[in-house]
Amino acid sequence: MFKQIAVIGLGTMGPGMVARLARGGVDVVAYDVAPPAIERARSAFAIAETVLDSLGIAAPSGGPGTVRFTADLADAVSGADLVIENVPENIDIKAEVYREIDALVGADTIVASDTSGIPITQLQAHLSNPARMVGMHWSNPPHIIPMIEVIGGEQTAVDTVKAIGDFIRSLGLLPVFVKKDVRGFVENRVLYALLREVVDLVERGVIDPEDIDTCVSWGIGYKLAVVGPMALLDMAGLDIYNSVASHLNAELCDRKDVAPLVGNKMDQGTLGIKSGSGIYSYTPDRIAHLQKDRARKLVAIRRILEGGE
């Protein structure tokens, strides 16, 4: 099993991934090209550790792994038997990172990408040994949500996919194997289908943002946290689904572009929490409250789903 892991890129996902890997007993070297990003990651890593404590996730008998931050890529990947790439969702940026990594690691080092949906087949073309490239898509926040998608590209070795799946299980997490290398994989394809519909409903004035959030959280989301969508078909009855879908499917949003509601806000520089406003408005105090409150609720829900109190 992997003993030393390099996490390349410390944006939104990186610190939580680092914390969860280290809590599993693995030594981690965390890299980012930007020193300010490293400093932000140190703080986010400390917060993620307190959340892991609240979840009761203990380190193995040998203790937690070590964590070290660096702005030197060669230093980060030196001695690593697994490199997890977590840089921005731009294939040119990722390709350049792979070319740099390729010259620094051995032929047996597995390179995994936390891409949200770029096909692994496209990414592995930039490695000299594409058989060792695999998708390892964590869900945000990665230190709380235990599901990780595992995706092989056209040239990924079966043993590479198996090694990542076995490793995820060894951490007490849940690997989900995506059998075809489709864009967006599975989680984001389902999520973005839902987002396309809710944005369309708000844009057409069918419902306000606050009410669609309540509808999804307390209706769809509440159910789906306990009963998965395929099981839900059986629970409702396939005959009922067939009856409703036969007329409703034709009415669902099927636009191929992005709705103007989103594009117009982007043009205005209102991007969401990161800019202080988006669909909603945010003050620094509200952002801090939301982050703590959402983590607390996700922890509580996970405990219940795992059978705890």
pLDDT tens for 71-130 read 999 999 999 999 999 999 999 999 999 999 999 999 899 999 999 999 999 999 999 999
Task: Name residue 200's amino acid.
Answer: D
Q: State the pLDDT at residue 252.
A: 98
Fold of 188-305: N-(1-d-carboxylethyl)-l-norvaline Dehydrogenase; domain 2 (1.10.1040)
- CB atoms under 10 Å from CB of 265, counted, come to 16
**Residue 151 near residue 133, CB atoms below 8 Å:** no
Using DSSP's 3-state secondary structure scheme, residue 287 falls into helix
Q: State the pLDDT at residue 1.
A: 82
Q: Is the pLDDT of residue 308 over 60?
A: no
pLDDT tens for 23-62 read 999 999 999 999 999 999 999 999 999 999 999 999 999 9
Q: How confident is the model at residue 309 (pLDDT cuts 50, 70, 90)?
A: low
Share of the chain above pLDDT 70, in %: 99
Q: State the pLDDT at residue 307.
A: 84
Distance CA(43)–CA(41), nearest Å, equals 5
The answer to pTM > 0.75 is yes
Positive or negative, the Cα torsion across 61, 86, 112, 192?
positive
Distance CA(110)–CA(87), nearest Å, equals 17
Distance CA(147)–CA(156), nearest Å, equals 21
Architecture of the structural domain at 4-178:
3-Layer(aba) Sandwich (3.40)
Give the up-direction half-sphere exposure of residue 207: CA atoms within 13 A in the CB hemisphere.
13
φ and ψ at residue 106, rounded to 5 degrees: -80, 170
Distance CA(211)–CA(251), nearest Å, equals 21
Length of the chain: 309
**Token pair 């490239």 in the structure block, residue:** 133
Q: State the pLDDT at residue 218.
A: 97
Q: Residues near 58 by Cβ (< 8 Å), separated by ≥ 6?
A: 23
pLDDT tens for 198-238 read 999 999 999 999 999 999 999 999 999 999 999 999 999 99
CATH 3.40.50.720 placement within the chain: 4-178
Euclidean distance between the first and final Cα of the chain, in Å? 33
pLDDT tens for 126-167 read 999 999 999 999 999 999 999 999 999 999 999 999 999 999
CATH 1.10.1040.10 placement within the chain: 188-305
